[in-house]
Amino acid sequence: MNDYLVKAMAYGGYVRAYAVNATQTVNEAQKRHDTWNTSSAALGRTLIGSLLLGSTVKGEDTITVRVQGDGPGGAIIATSNGSGDVKGYIQNPHVSLPLNEEEKIDVRGAVGTQGIFSVTKDLGLKEPFSGQTPIVSGELGEDFTYYLAVSEQTPSSIGLSVLIDTDDSVKAAGGFMLQMMPGASEEVVSDLEKRLQQLPKVSVMLDEGKTPEEILDFIFADEAVMILDKMPVQFKCDCSKERFATGLISLGTQELQEMIDEDHGAEAVCTFCGNKYTFNEQELEGLKQEALG
């Protein structure tokens, strides 16, 4: 099944709901960055959360999530857009920690419990919107939820889940986001809280073959769920040789000449996707001429 995200409404429009299967997306990130199991789970959860937030903006508008904790995984960065594209990386891809007390992957151990969780929205306006909150959990689902409540004043619940296979590949990955609309009653909130406490992990449900629509049906039980939209999601990077060439020009003529004289070329590697771009001496000479204006 190809990855996709659904947007829906429930409780007569008082709850906005999103669910996503991102198994192939997270698996692609795992392969590109050669992440070990704990890093895979931490990066995967961040990518899923970023996709869920990205689905609330339009088309090419972007959302960038930065998780800067004090754990061995280091910083985690993910950027998504309203078209279902996401890219991201974790500073230290090679973290493999023992299971936590609940016999689950120790994402908190990799992320840390002290640090900053920040979101930047570029909606094509003069200035991007930025908000940040302290890391409150390190498990990431709670951190996304806390950010939305505090920074965007949107009462929400976000569940993020990545199931890693014994060979470090991603067996299943996905998540959900529920947002209370103005006017939602305390009864609705309390009803949902009870249901979420009994909810199995999303990745387990996906591994059992459930679709995002079926996950929402499971969450809302007897309530009617109205599906509003369904869109494909994927790991996709917008890097290119031309973009890196522009970056090299900005270094200036002296640095470009040093690359020609000392290295006889240059190799640029995209942090987000791992793609490599090589520039030979002739190409660097051309970029140097452009730098001269």
Question: pLDDT digit of tens for each residue in the chain (293 aa)?
Answer: 799 999 999 999 999 999 999 999 999 999 999 999 999 999 999 999 999 999 999 989 999 999 999 999 999 999 999 999 999 999 999 999 999 988 899 999 999 999 999 999 998 888 899 999 999 999 999 999 999 999 999 899 999 999 999 898 999 999 999 999 988 888 888 888 888 888 899 999 999 999 999 999 999 988 899 999 999 999 999 999 999 999 999 998 899 998 999 988 899 999 999 999 999 999 999 998 988 87
Closest by CA position to 272, among listed 80, 144, 59? 80
Q: Say which residue the tokens 């999530």 belong to.
A: 65
For residue 28, give the DSSP letter: H
Domain boundaries along the sequence of the chain: 4-235, 241-292
45 vs 174: CA distance, rounded Å: 8
d(CA 67, CA 156): 19
What pLDDT is attached to residue 188?
87
Does 4-235 match 241-292 in CATH topology?
no
**Cα separation values, 54 from 213, 218, 266, Å:** 19, 24, 34
The two beta strands, 62-69 and 76-81, are antiparallel
Angle between helical axes of 23-33 and 37-54 (0-180°, round to 10): 130
**Dihedral class, residue 12 (left if φ above 0, else alpha if ψ from -120 to 50, else beta):** left
Pick the CATH number of 241-292 from 3.90.550.10, 3.30.540.10, 3.90.1280.10, 3.40.1210.10: 3.90.1280.10
Contact between residue 44 and residue 171 where contact means Cβ atoms under 8 Å apart: no
Q: What is the dihedral of CA 186, 188, 190, 196, to 10 degrees?
A: -150
Name the CATH topology of 4-235: Hsp33 domain (3.55.30)
Phi, psi of 154 (to 5 degrees): -115, 105
